[in-house]
Structure 1
Amino acid sequence: MSKYYPDISHHEKVTDWNKVIKACPFIITKATQGLTFIDPLLGTVIKECEKRKKPYWLYAYLNSGKELAQAKFLVETCRERVGKYFVGYILDVECKEGNNVAGVRDALKYISNLGYKSMIYTMYAQYTRYKSVIDKRPKNCAWWEARYGKNNGTYSKKYPAHKGVDFHQFTERGSCPGMSGEIDLNRLTGTKAESWFTDPKISNEKTKYPGTFPALPPRGYYQCGDGYETMKDYTTQIRRVQKLLNWVMDADIKVDGKYGVDTAALETKLQKKYGLPVNGKFGDKSLAVCKKVKK
């Protein structure tokens, strides 16, 4: 039997919960929007999922502005309603006016520190706007992205989600057993297994850097000026240095392939933190330290 990964709200009509539960490994439903709206279907979904032991997620559609307050309204609304099979909260970041990036970051940090898993939902066309939030999302947070392509109810390889997306909404015109009308459908597309979306437990196991480690040049290190005054052919490797330093040091320097004063300053902080010779140059000792860091 095929598996279905729908997300629903009061706009969709469930006609047979037995069929829905059998076809869907987990359910995603809207809980709130803004600071006052509570979805009329929320209570029913929670009740049916808890009764039938089906994992479920709850999301808030974020209006523009006061994103943290909206996230808190989501949690306040759901805290006393959820039960054993609740997996986590989701922030739906897609309003046409655009959300405040710093506000989204604060809201995501808030829902990710409550002991549950979390997700952030963004539109394909708005990737650049929210890239900084997506790239620095918490470990227990998945990235959910919408890209429809032809939007005809089926997935087309011609319209993939961005690299790194964990969950891809590929149509708003799909169908699902036990539901009437057109339904949003999704597919698993990242490194997270289905079990990650169905198991409420959060792994506390620390992991090493998930990106690509930089290759050092023949002289054995990078220094200020590289990538734009000297060693102009090493911009790709310097970007990898910058991404790595950002991850290890929880920083946010610009990743531009230019080893400038900001990169050198961050490298200096790393050297001081880990007891290395302080010179602002990224070399084999810094690389070795970074390869051992787990978060």
Structure 2
Amino acid sequence: MRIFLCFVAVMALLAGCGSKAPPPVAQAANTSSGLAGGARPVDVTFPSFGDARPHDWSGRAPGSYAVHGIDVSRYQPPIDWRAARRAGVSFAFIKATEGVEELDPRFAEHWAGAGRAGIPRAAYHFYYFCAPADEQARWFIRNVPRRAGSLPHVLDMEWNPFSPTCRIRPDGADVRRRAQIFLDILEAHYGQRPIVYTTIDFWRETGIGRLPRTRFWLRSVAGHPSERYPGAWWDFCQYTGTGLEPGLKGEVDLNVFDGPAPAWGYYGSGGVGVSPGLVPPRPSVRNQADGRRASAGPVPRPGAWVRSARRSYEARIWLV
């Protein structure tokens, strides 16, 4: 099959320049929260959210990313999800479970509200290091419905020094083994490989980034992930824990998707993101970002997008 290459991330070429964020842009409304009726909705690209404790960013600032979302848990009060969508919330990660017996008391409320508003959503599980991974996976499955068109769900793995019952810190090999068990069980049940959320210290101390076939959501509130996670490839970045947005009272975590709006439209559908089995992806196609052939390896299937290994900026190649 002939592969036509075209860039859909001209912004990425400007990323290293720290260019000023474009103004919010309203898109055509789409009432679907899944893929059954077409691409996922992006009602507002480049939204302008507030921050209770803002700081200056070096390099590429969060506002220069097109697609933004929030993550929520019991600590957020009732949310006006329709107002959130109108303001530019394009996705929501919602805490569901922790360990083998805790269910977030606001999960059902947040899950239903985001769904009614047509906001693409996924649930996340906070990992508890004093319980078996398979039991935690089954607890998550028991409480989170399987729904076509949902975003990939999330395994949140980070150290928890404030836990009153479990403060152990397994070595990196054991952490990765546990994560693999959890991810495999959820993938078999939901049909999508989960995303892994993690933090700077956990990434550095456990080598969690070495997990095969895994997409990452990285916490990086004090600088761009390229500074805090050198060499990491990521799909989402949590850039503040003190965000302000119109649909919610108080502060909330804000996140960006590391790709353009067209790629977001089909993210997680099997054609966009870090392709399973290609982590890191090593295309055998010519990389037009630098005019040289990338290292030998399998060619990503049409519909995938891959990252340049030759440039410091995050170039994309769209295979159509």
What TM-score, normalized by structure 2, do the two folds share? 0.56
Please state whether the residue corresponding to 1:168 is helix, strand or coil: strand
Match of 2:127 in 1: 62
CA 1:98 to 1:108, structure 2 compared with 1: closer, same or farther past 3 Å? farther
Match of 2:186 in 1: 111
Displacement of 1:13? 1.9
Match of 1:274 in 2: none
Please state whether the residue corresponding to 1:45 is helix, strand or coil: helix
Q: How many angstroms apart in 2 are the aligned matches of 1:44 and 1:176?
A: 19
Q: How many angstroms apart in 2 are the aligned matches of 1:201 and 1:84?
A: 10
Q: How many angstroms apart in 2 are the aligned matches of 1:148 and 1:175?
A: 15
What TM-score, normalized by structure 1, do the two folds share? 0.60
Gapped regions of structure 1 (runs ≥ 5):
150-154, 214-286
What fraction of aligned residue pairs are identical, expressed as a percent? 19
Q: Which amino acid aligns with 1:165?
A: W
Match of 1:147 in 2: 220
Q: How many angstroms apart in 1 are the aligned matches of 2:241 and 2:158?
A: 15
Q: How many angstroms apart in 2 are the aligned matches of 1:113 and 1:34?
A: 20
Q: How many angstroms apart in 2 are the aligned matches of 1:206 and 1:86?
A: 18
Structure whose alpha-carbon radius of gyration is higher? 1
Q: How many angstroms apart in 2 are the aligned matches of 1:35 and 1:157?
A: 31
Q: How does 1:128-207 map to 2 (within 5 A)?
A: 128-131=204-207, 133-138=208-213, 141-149=214-222, 159-162=227-230, 163-189=232-258, 193-197=263-267, 201-203=269-271
Cα RMSD between the aligned structures? 3.3
Please state whether the residue corresponding to 1:43 is helix, strand or coil: helix
Q: How many angstroms apart in 2 are the aligned matches of 1:76 and 1:40?
A: 15
Q: Deviations over 1:124-148 (max 9, x none)?
A: 11213442x433332xx42111122
Greater relative contact order (CA < 8 Å, ≥ 6 in sequence): 2
Give 1:127's match in structure 2, choosing from 203, 221, 230. Answer: 203
Q: How does 1:207-222 map to 2 (within 5 A)?
A: 210-211=281-282
Q: How many angstroms apart in 1 are the aligned matches of 2:225 and 2:218?
A: 15
Displacement of 1:161? 4.2
Number of equivalent positions: 208
Please state whether the residue corresponding to 1:25 is helix, strand or coil: strand
Query: Are the aligned partners of 1:207 and 1:294 in contact in 2 as well (CA < 8 Å)?
Result: no
